[in-house]
């Protein structure tokens, strides 16, 4: 509970209508997409300018209050969960497009702009913002930056980090930093911008960003292939990427396809059932790319890697094929899945996946595991579905042991416990499997430099 005095000071900063204290509002703003923690913030504020954000942070320092920054709350690791009486600072009102420059092909915008709005803004000007994922309709650009969001086009365009050329942030001490200012080249020492990208709200509140845009791709074709076994997916990746610039190379298991077709009513890509499916996308500016793709498809069939396939013949069909992959995440919420978001080098994936499969099947036989992910990036989403016999608490506890064992395997394979979703609350106990004690010590020290009183998103990333 906040004191009357703090409530009155917050009201002075943001205005009475922008200070939310009702239970329903606190619930709404206090959680992300995870279902493990209960929202319990003491207040939600909706600042309208970077100066208001700054004043809230200064007040929090003075009165020793914790802050949870909040964007679209589509995160999957608890990074935006406020469970311990924190003040949620929601960026929804910083939602303006501020400055577009066609020569630099960049746009400055508020952190609260919805990702899809940025994509549309670019398209309307004959340009392209290439970071794309299923929740672009509600995620905010500030949250994308704070988590260095990845998605389905990373193989071609990289992660959010690649597209951020400027940032305005309020750090934990309440100071405003204007970082890199839209420059393409700027070798003037430490690039703090990149520290804030992916810092999960632990160093500062991202208020404004300048985003590089690019030329839109030519029309694209989608190919879905039914694949005989996991190592064969990588053979397919190897031969296709040797000849064609892929903009996506995704995969999902038969179990994932069954769930998405049953629950969303989507049509199967073809009748043949195969253990795995790969979804490839590539630009088809000319006929010769399609000819190469067909020839590669035939090679893959002859080698016995691919058992069936379908090539999109229209934009509508391409979109329908994408839905088979993109709707998996939403479909699985029905089972309150425990999400693992892991990566290893692409070349090590078959051995790694075999070991994880053996581990889960041997030690946790009552768990149903659904595999999908961005295989071209070495990023696997391993979702464990909750058996009806287990309560949510029992299930989460058991999954915690699975994660620790997978963490040990990841350490052996020199992989990452979080490829793209971030660490948040969900994975902080496993951080040491991916980062050395020295690295974690340095991260804590860096946090103290930018957030000396440790008021920003406490308990996220590490304790």
User: Which token pair is 83?
Assistant: 């469970």
Q: How far is the CB of 217 from ligand MLT (least distance, A)?
A: 20
Q: For ligand MLT, which is the closer residue by CB, 133 or 338?
A: 133
Compute the distance between CA of residue 192 and CA of residue 206 in angstroms, rounded to an integer.
12
Query: If binding is defined by CB under 6 A, does position 324 make contact with ligand MLT?
Result: no
Q: How far is the CB of 346 from ligand MLT (least distance, A)?
A: 16
Binding mask 332-371 for ligand MLT (x = CB under 6 A): -------x--------------------------------
Compute the distance between CA of residue 76 and CA of residue 205 in angstroms, rounded to an integer.
19
User: Which token pair is 399?
Assistant: 């999954």
Residues 6+ apart with CB under 8 A from 412: none
Phi-psi region of 277 (alpha: psi -120 to 50; beta: other; left: phi over 0): beta
Query: If binding is defined by CB under 6 A, does position 149 make contact with ligand MLT?
Result: no
The helix/strand/coil state of 42 is: coil
Burial class (CB in 10 A: 0-12, 13-18, 19+), 291: exposed
Q: For ligand MLT, which is the closer residue by CB, 26 or 382?
A: 382
What DSSP state is assigned to residue 97?
E
Query: If binding is defined by CB under 6 A, does position 381 make contact with ligand MLT?
Result: yes
Q: For ligand MLT, which is the closer residue by CB, 71 or 166?
A: 71
Compute the distance between CA of residue 128 and CA of residue 237 in angstroms, rounded to an integer.
26
Q: How far is the CB of 87 from ligand MLT (least distance, A)?
A: 28
Q: For ligand MLT, which is the closer residue by CB, 339 or 427?
A: 339
Binding mask 119-138 for ligand MLT (x = CB under 6 A): --------------xx----
Query: If binding is defined by CB under 6 A, does position 386 make contact with ligand MLT?
Result: no
Considering only residues 329, 331, 434, 457, which one is a binding residue for ligand MLT as defined by CB under 6 A? 329
Q: For ligand MLT, which is the closer residue by CB, 274 or 329?
A: 329
HSE-up (13 A, CA, CB side) for residue 299: 14
Exposure pattern of 321-354 as b/e (b: 16+ CB <10 Å)? bbebbbbbbebbeebebbbbbbbbebebbbebbe
Q: How far is the CB of 184 from ligand MLT (least distance, A)?
A: 29
Q: For ligand MLT, which is the closer residue by CB, 79 or 110?
A: 79
Q: For ligand MLT, which is the closer residue by CB, 134 or 244?
A: 134
Q: Which helix (H) or strand (E) holds 310?
A: strand 306-311
Phi-psi region of 91 (alpha: psi -120 to 50; beta: other; left: phi over 0): alpha
Binding mask 11-50 for ligand MLT (x = CB under 6 A): ----------------------------------------
Q: How far is the CB of 380 from ligand MLT (least distance, A)?
A: 10
Query: If binding is defined by CB under 6 A, does position 312 make contact with ligand MLT?
Result: no
What DSSP state is assigned to residue 221?
E
HSE-up (13 A, CA, CB side) for residue 318: 13
Q: How far is the CB of 385 from ligand MLT (least distance, A)?
A: 13
Q: For ligand MLT, which is the closer residue by CB, 114 or 324?
A: 324
Query: If binding is defined by CB under 6 A, does position 73 make contact with ligand MLT?
Result: no
Residues that bind ligand MLT (CB under 6 A): 133-134, 329, 339, 381
């Amino acid at each position: 509970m906040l004191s009357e005095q703090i409530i009155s000071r917050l009201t002075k900063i943001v205005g009475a209508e922008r200070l939310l204290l009702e239970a329903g509002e606190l619930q709404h703003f206090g959680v992300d997409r995870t279902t493990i923690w209960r929202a319990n913030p003491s207040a939600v504020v909706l600042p309208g300018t970077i100066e208001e954000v700054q004043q809230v942070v200064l007040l929090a320092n003075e009165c020793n209050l914790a802050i949870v920054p909040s964007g679209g709350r589509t995160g999957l690791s608890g990074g935006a969960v406020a469970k311990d009486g924190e003040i949620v600072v929601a960026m929804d009102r910083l939602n303006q497009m501020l400055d577009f420059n066609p020569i630099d092909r960049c746009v400055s915008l508020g952190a609260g702009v919805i990702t899809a709005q940025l994509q549309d803004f670019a398209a309307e000007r004959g340009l392209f913002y290439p970071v794309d994922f299923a929740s672009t309709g509600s995620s905010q650009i500030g949250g994308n930056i704070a988590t260095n969001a990845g998605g389905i086009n990373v193989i071609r365009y990289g992660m959010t980090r690649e597209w951020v050329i400027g940032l305005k942030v309020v750090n934990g001490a309440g100071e405003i930093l204007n970082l890199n200012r839209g420059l393409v080249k700027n070798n003037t020492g430490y690039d703090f911008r990149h520290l804030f990208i992916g810092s999960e709200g632990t160093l500062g509140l991202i208020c404004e960003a300048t985003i590089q845009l690019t030329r839109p791709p030519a029309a694209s074709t989608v190919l879905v292939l039914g694949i005989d076994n996991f190592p064969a997916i990588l053979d397919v990746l190897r031969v296709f990427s040797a000849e064609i610039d892929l903009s996506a190379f995704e995969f999902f298991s038969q179990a994932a396809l069954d769930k998405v077709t049953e629950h969303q009513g989507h049509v199967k890509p073809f009748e043949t059932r195969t253990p795995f499916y790969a979804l490839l996308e590539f630009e088809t500016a000319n006929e010769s790319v399609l000819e190469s793709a067909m020839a590669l498809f035939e090679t893959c069939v002859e080698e016995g890697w691919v058992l069936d396939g379908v090539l999109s013949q229209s934009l509508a069909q391409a979109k329908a094929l994408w839905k088979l992959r993109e709707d998996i995440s939403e479909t699985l919420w029905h089972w309150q899945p425990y999400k693992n978001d892991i990566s290893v080098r692409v070349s090590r994936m078959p051995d790694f996946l075999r070991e994880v499969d053996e581990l889960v099947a041997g030690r946790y036989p009552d768990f149903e595991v659904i595999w999908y992910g961005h295989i071209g990036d070495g990023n696997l989403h391993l979702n464990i579905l909750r058996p009806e016999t287990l309560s949510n608490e029992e299930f989460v506890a058991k999954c915690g042991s699975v994660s620790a064992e997978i963490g040990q395997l990841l350490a052996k394979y020199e992989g990452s416990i979080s490829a793209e979703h971030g660490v948040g609350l969900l994975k902080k106990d496993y951080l040491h499997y991916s980062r050395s004690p020295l690295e974690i010590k340095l991260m804590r020290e860096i946090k103290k430099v930018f957030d000396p009183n440790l008021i920003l998103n406490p308990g996220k990333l590490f304790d």
